[in-house]
Structure 1
Amino acid sequence: MWMYLGLLSALFLGLHSLCKKHAVQGNEVLPVLLGTLLAGFLVFIPFFIGSVYNPEYFQKIGFYITPISIQTHGFIFIKSIIMTGSWVLAYAALKHLPITIVTPIRSAGPFFTFIGAILIYDENPTFLQWLGFFLIIFSVLLYSKIGKQEGINFKKNKWIFAIIGATFLGASSGLYDKFLIQNLTLNPQTLQFWFCFYTILILLIILSITWFPKKEKRKAFKFRWTIIAVGVLLQTADYFYFKALQDPDALIMLLSAIKRSQIIIAVVIGGLLFREHNKRKKLIPLAGILIGVFLILYS
C-alpha cells in the first residue's frame, strides 16, 4: 500500500513542479516561496482549530492534530531549517534554469537518500536496487551534456551548484522524515502544520532583512494563481508521502525513488508548456531514470 501512496505523492509533485516553474518565472523567489507556504498552511488551519474544539470528530475522520512536547517542536524546527535552505536554493535555480534541467538533477536525490538509508537505517539493497540507483545517477550526468547545448556549463554555472545543494538538503530532510514519522510517531497533519508554521517564521525573518525594506523588490513581485496552487499541491503530495512512511515496512530508499517518477510530468508536459529546447534528447536520460525506478520497484 505504501508504494501506491508514494505514486500518488509523485503525481501531485509533478503538477506542483509545473506550477512552481510558472510562479517563479521573472518573479521574486522568496516571496513566492512564502506565498506557497502560507497557502499550504491555511489548508491545515481548520484541522488545528477543529482538533482543539472537537477532538473526537477529527480523530474519527483521521485529521486530528495531536499535542506535542517542546522537544518534538525542536525536532520539527530542525526540519524547517533544512527545508528552508533547500527551497531557497531550488527556487532560485528554477528561476534561472530550464525545468527540464532542474527536475532531472533533483532526481538524483534518491541516491543520497539511498546511501543514508544504508548507513543510518540499515536498509539492505539488492543487486537490482544498486543497479537502478546507479542508472539514475548516470542518466543525470547525461543531462549535463544536454545542458551545455543550451548554454549551461555545469562546472561554472552557480545555479547548477544551487540545485545540487538543494537536492542534498532535500534528501537529508527525507531521511529525517522517517525519524519524525516512525520514531516520534507523528501523524502527517501534525508534522505538516507545525513544519509550515516554523518555516513561515524563518522566511519572515529572512524577508524582513532582504525584501520588505527594499521598495524596488516589492514592486518586482507579481502575484500569480500558481503560487496558491503550488502550496496546496505540495501539502497534498507530502500528506500521501508521510502516510506511506507511517507503514513500518516502508523503505525510505525506495519511496524516495518512487517519488521521482514525477519527472514524467515535469519533463514531458513542462517541456511543451514552457517551450524548452532539446526535449527529444532529454527523453533518453529520462528513459534511463524511469528504468532505474522500475528496477527498484521490480526488485
Structure 2
Amino acid sequence: MWMYSGLLAALFLGLHNLCKKHAVRGNEVFPVLLGTITTGFLLLLPLYFASLYAPEYMDNLGLTITRIPWSNHGFIVIKSMLMAGSWVLAYQALKHLPITIVTPIRSAGPFFTFIGAIFIYRESPTGWQWVGFFLIIFSVFLYSRIGKKEGINFKNNKWIFAIIAATFLGASSGLYDKFLIQNLQLNPQTLQFWFSWYTVLILLVILSINWFPYADKRKAFIWRWSIPAVGILLVFADYFYFKALQDPDALIMLLSAIKRSQILIAVVLGGIIFKEQNKRRKLIPLAGIMIGVALILYSNG
C-alpha cells in the first residue's frame, strides 16, 4: 500500500514542478518560495485550530495535528533548515536552467538516499537495484551532454552546482523524514504543519536580508496563480509521501526512487509547455532513468 502512496506523491510532485517553473520564470525567486510555503501553511492552519477545538471530529477524520514536546520541535527545525537551503538553491537554479535539465539532475537524489539507507537504516538492496541506481546516474550524465547543446557548460555553470547541492540537501532531508515519522512517530499533518511554520520563519529572515530592503527587487516580483498552486500541490505530495513512510515495511530507498516517476510529467509536459530544446534527445536518458526506477521497484533478488 505504501508504494501506491508513493506514486500519488510522485504525481503531485510532477505537477508541482511544472507550476514551480511557471512561478519562477523571469521572477524574483525568494518571494515566490515564501509565497508557496506560506500557502501550504495557510492550507494546514484550519486543521490546527480544528484539532484544538474539535479533537474528536479530527480524530475521526484522521487529520489531527497532535501536541508534541519541545524536543520534537527542535528536530523539525533541523528539517526546515535542510529544506529551506535545498529550495533556495533549487529555485535559483530552476530560474536559470531548463526544467528538462534541472529535473533529471534532481533525479540523482535517490542515489544519495540509497547510500544513506544502507549505512543509516541498514536497508539491503538487491543486485538489480544496484544496477537500477547506476543506470539512473549514467542517464543523468547523458543529460549533461545534451545540456551543452543548450549553451549550458556543466563544469563552469554555477547553477549546475547549485542544483547538485540542492539535490544533496533534499536527499538528506528525505533520510531524516524516516526518523521523524517512524522514530518520533509524528503523523503527516503534524510534521507538515510545524515544518511549514518554521520554514516560513527561516525564509522571512532570508528575505529581510536579500529582498525586503531593495525596492528594485520588490518591484521586479510578479504575482502569479502558480505560486499558491505550488504550495497546495506540495502539501498533497508531502502528505502521501509521509503516509507511505508511516508503514513500517516502507523502504526509503525504494520510496525515493518511486518519487522519481515525476520526471515523466516534468520532462515530457514541461518540454512541450515551456518549448525547451532537444526534447527528443532527452527522451533517451529519460528512458534510462525510468528503466532504472523499474529495476528498483520490481527486483526481488
**TM-score w.r.t. length of structure 1:** 1.00
Residue 116 of structure 1 is matched in structure 2 by 116
CA deviations 1:230-269 (Å, max 9, x no partner) are: 0000110000000000000000000000000000000000
**1:207 alignment partner AA:** L
Matches of 2:47 and 2:59, distance apart in 1:
10
Following superposition, the deviation at residue 210 of structure 1 comes to 1.0
Counterparts of residues 167-246 of structure 1 (less than 5 Å): 167-246=167-246
In the alignment, does 2:149 pair up with 1:149? yes
Matches of 2:224 and 2:53, distance apart in 1:
34
Matches of 1:161 and 1:17, distance apart in 2:
19
Residue 67 of structure 1 is matched in structure 2 by 67
CA deviations 1:182-213 (Å, max 9, x no partner) are: 00000000000000000000000111111111
Equivalent residue of 2:260, what SS?
helix
Matches of 2:222 and 2:123, distance apart in 1:
45
Matches of 1:210 and 1:16, distance apart in 2:
25
Matches of 2:59 and 2:140, distance apart in 1:
43
**TM-score w.r.t. length of structure 2:** 0.99
CA deviations 1:17-58 (Å, max 9, x no partner) are: 000000000000000000000111111111000000011110
Following superposition, the deviation at residue 139 of structure 1 comes to 0.3
Residue 7 of structure 1 is matched in structure 2 by 7
Residue 93 of structure 2 is matched in structure 1 by 93
* Aligned-CA RMSD value: 0.4
Matches of 1:4 and 1:78, distance apart in 2:
28
Residue 263 of structure 1 is matched in structure 2 by 263
**May I ask how many residue pairs the two structures share in their alignment?**
299
Residue 159 of structure 2 is matched in structure 1 by 159
Residue 133 of structure 1 is matched in structure 2 by 133
Equivalent residue of 2:125, what SS?
coil
Equivalent residue of 1:150, what SS?
coil
Equivalent residue of 1:186, what SS?
coil
Following superposition, the deviation at residue 177 of structure 1 comes to 0.1
Residue 292 of structure 1 is matched in structure 2 by 292
Matches of 2:30 and 2:260, distance apart in 1:
25
Following superposition, the deviation at residue 288 of structure 1 comes to 0.1
Q: Give the fraction of aligned pairs with identical amino acids, expressed as a percent.
A: 77
**1:59 alignment partner AA:** D
Matches of 1:59 and 1:132, distance apart in 2:
41
**1:157 alignment partner AA:** N
Matches of 1:111 and 1:193, distance apart in 2:
28
**2:221 alignment partner AA:** F
Equivalent residue of 2:10, what SS?
helix
Matches of 2:259 and 2:235, distance apart in 1:
14
For structure 1, the 5+ residue unaligned runs are none
For structure 2, the 5+ residue unaligned runs are none
Equivalent residue of 2:261, what SS?
helix
CA deviations 1:88-129 (Å, max 9, x no partner) are: 000000000000000000000000000000000000000111
In the alignment, does 2:36 pair up with 1:24? no
**2:161 alignment partner AA:** F
Matches of 2:90 and 2:225, distance apart in 1:
20
Matches of 1:297 and 1:207, distance apart in 2:
41
Residue 35 of structure 1 is matched in structure 2 by 35
Matches of 1:90 and 1:235, distance apart in 2:
18
Matches of 1:235 and 1:252, distance apart in 2:
19
